[in-house]
Structure 1
Amino acid sequence: MSTSDPHTLSRDEVYDILSNARRRFVIYYLRDRGEPVKLGELSDRVAAWENDVPVEELTDQQVKRVYVSLYQTHIPKLEDTGIVEYDADTGVVRLTSQVSDLDAYLPDEDEGSIPWQGIYLTLAVVGLAVYGVATAAQGAIPQSVLNAVGLLVFVSFGAVVIAQYLYERRNR
């Protein structure tokens, strides 16, 4: 367990903590779980994230490399700053209330995200409205116009799907 006195982290300390992707992921994962986690499980999750594979597909070498790094470097650094507590007897890592010092430096999860479901819903409603108008005005609107509008709705869905895929891939 950490023997350092709790204190407010300086900006330099926060930047140093957050400068490493593994430490950021550890903090994210512990927050997401909301409960203490064994170092082995944490190593599995970090290795899976880094290698972009499910935990079940990890090699022993991939997990070992992350475990050693977390055990020797990252967990002690997080413990020294008071962000986590590590119980060497049980191998359990838990966040402390000190983690709230990082909140001002971490973006909100939803901040800057695109409301994809709203875009899809809007396209669906517009498509349904066009279908309703076409059905109600059979014969009054030339078939070529209806075909063009239908194609436009279809292409719009495709464009949004591609945009979401590229956005998600870039932000992964």
Structure 2
Amino acid sequence: MSTTDRPTPSAATANASASDRSRDESTTLSDDDVFHILQTSRRREAIRYMLAANGSVKMGNLAEHVAAREHETTVAKLSSTQRQRVYIPLYQSHLPKLDKAGVIDYNKSRGIVSPGDHLEIFRPYLEVTTPDPMAADDETDQSLLGRFGSPAITDETYYVATATASVGLLLAAAFGFLPISGLALGTIVTALFVLTTVACADHPLAIQQATDRRRSQ
């Protein structure tokens, strides 16, 4: 390479800086990325657990916490089936997705989950802050946790409750405790599941509304 073809130190530095800026921009989470990540209750609970841990945790402990919250029980009372129902999706899908987004650093072989560069982005979304009493109309102080209520109330909780109510109605009708026609009973059960679907759909809608307010600021 001739002297004229060799890049000068200043040019090399400029190229490196441009490369660094491009890398930083490509790894920055957009509002759409945040919205997509928070759509799933298991990812929300996993992020909330990592924010509270302030350090590395065992993947098994994280999975047990998420499973306990999902089934509205304690870790000690979890059944093996309940653990597996949550552990496998976290292991195969949710944690790798959070790792790819830079929210966590997931060492799959060691089973260790550490905070990622973008973890703190989610703190204002998942923690309830005390609203200013002088600004009653200001909804920006209310995080997603406040909008959703208890983190244990997941989409699965709604559907389990609806299924339980439907089975109760069917049994009551079958044993003659509920004098109602089959057509009317079918209509009631269908309406219950429609209402449940609407209630579950409110979760991502609340996230989108919070994101829209963030964009408008």
TM-score normalized by structure 2? 0.48
RMSD: 2.4
How far is 1:113 from its partner? 10
Match of 1:109 among 128, 133, 137: 128
- Provide the C-alpha distance between the structure 2 equivalents of 1:18 and 1:82, rounded to a whole number of angstroms: 14
Show the counterpart of 1:52.
72
Where does structure 1 lack aligned partners over 5 or more consecutive residues? 115-167
Asked whether the equivalents of residues 8 and 101 of structure 1 are also in contact (C-alpha less than 8 Å), the reply is: no
Task: Kindly indicate whether residue 149 of structure 2 is the aligned counterpart of residue 171 of structure 1.
Answer: yes
How far is 1:109 from its partner? 2.3
Show the counterpart of 1:83.
103
Show the counterpart of 2:214.
none
How far is 1:171 from its partner? 2.6
1:4-30 deviations in Å (ceiling 9; x for gaps): x65210111110001111111111101
Identical aligned residues as a percent: 33
Show the counterpart of 1:29.
49
How far is 1:111 from its partner? 3.2
- Provide the C-alpha distance between the structure 2 equivalents of 1:92 and 1:51, rounded to a whole number of angstroms: 24
SS class of match (2:113): strand
> How many equivalent residue pairs?
113
1:121-153 deviations in Å (ceiling 9; x for gaps): xxxxxxxxxxxxxxxxxxxxxxxxxxxxxxxxx
How far is 1:63 from its partner? 0.3
TM-score normalized by structure 1? 0.59
Where does structure 1 differ by over 4 angstroms across 4 or more consecutive aligned residues? none
Show the counterpart of 1:11.
31
Match of 1:69 among 89, 93, 114: 89
